[in-house]
Amino acid sequence: MSARDRIKETNPAFYERYSMLEDTDEFWEFIIRPLRQSIRVNTLKAPLNVVVERLKEEFELEPVAWVREGFFISVDNLAKVPEHSLGLIFGQEASSMIPPVVLDPRPDELVLDMAAAPGSKTGQIAQYMANEGCIIANDPKLSRANVLIANLNKMGVLNARVTTKDGAYFGRFENTFDRVLLDAPCSSVGMIRKSWKFLTGWRLRGVIKYMNIQKRLILAAYQALKPGGTLIYSTCTIDPLENEEVVDYLLRKTDARLERIDLPVKTSEPVLEWEGKTYSSELKKALRIHPNDNDTEAFFIAKILKPEGGE
């Protein structure tokens, strides 16, 4: 049975909705094809070249084009790799490494990671900040925050403080953070490659529920951002309601503007019209990544700037 037919049979509403985005055999095949294992080398613990040379003795490595520390690795079980146990490498999906790269945090800054668990992106941010400055790493669920703390400890992150607030809480800290990452909770369509449950459990009402949460969070994130600061909005889904719709909502409500992202990554065209609604042409500057573009999870990334003298 083809991938298309398996998806049609498993969740007809899912197929009907996303065939409006792309309807090629390749697209459907990559939506459900198992993910390649990828890692990020943690330079907080050891120099990049030292770790890479050590890994090459045992494994085939393929560089991830858009992040210097990222590699695809041929290994069945990462947990059995000593470098993983020691926190020298961290299992992280290749496209999920893009938001911290685009955020581009600096060592002396105050950064908010609004939905941080399980902490792969927080660790990457800390790496770029050389463990200096301060990261507020937030997750509202205590169980997820505990996983976040464990992972940050394992990676040797020293400049993060973990909080367990609803992300919208940070809206009260107006004009406070130099940079904000909102890797928003979403319907996780891009993660079907990790788990079939994201296909069987998909419902449009879930997408709409997440969209409403995301709109609340993105407004709070923008409010908390300093004028001249950068907000990265990202999701691991392909639904326009959770991506272009949310960013367009922010553009309409505030003085936010988008900046083009220049990375060696293959992308699909952002959606500027969906279900009869037209979105700002600014959204052409966002990255929409389908699973078949780079053989990764699906991802959406928008780089949002707050003008000097902004809200």
> Catalytic pick from 236, 247, 261, 304?
236
Question: For residue 309, what pLDDT is reported?
Answer: 66
Residue 64 included in any domain: no
Residue 155 included in any domain: yes
Task: Say which CATH number the domain at 246 has.
Answer: 3.40.50.150
Residue 223 included in any domain: yes
Domains identified in the chain, total number: 1
Name which of 283, 219, 221, 277 is nearest 253 in CA terms.
219
Residue 84 included in any domain: no
Which residue range(s) make up the domain with 120?
94-305
Question: For residue 311, what pLDDT is reported?
Answer: 44
Question: For residue 76, what pLDDT is reported?
Answer: 87
Q: Are 219 and 253 in contact (CB under 8 A)?
A: yes
Is 186 an annotated catalytic residue?
Answer: no
Residue 63 included in any domain: no
Question: For residue 190, what pLDDT is reported?
Answer: 87
Question: For residue 102, what pLDDT is reported?
Answer: 98
The length of the chain, given as a count of residues: 311
Rounded Cα distance between 249 and 252, Å, is: 5
Q: Are 290 and 22 in contact (CB under 8 A)?
A: yes
Q: Which residues of the chain have pLDDT under 70?
A: 309-311
Residue 24 included in any domain: no
Residue 277 included in any domain: yes
| Mean pLDDT value across the chain | 96
Q: Are 217 and 165 in contact (CB under 8 A)?
A: no
Residue 191 included in any domain: yes
Q: In the chain, how long is the greatest CA-to-CA distance? A: 57
pTM above 0.95, yes or no: yes
CA dihedral 150, 152, 156, 157 (to 10 degrees): -150
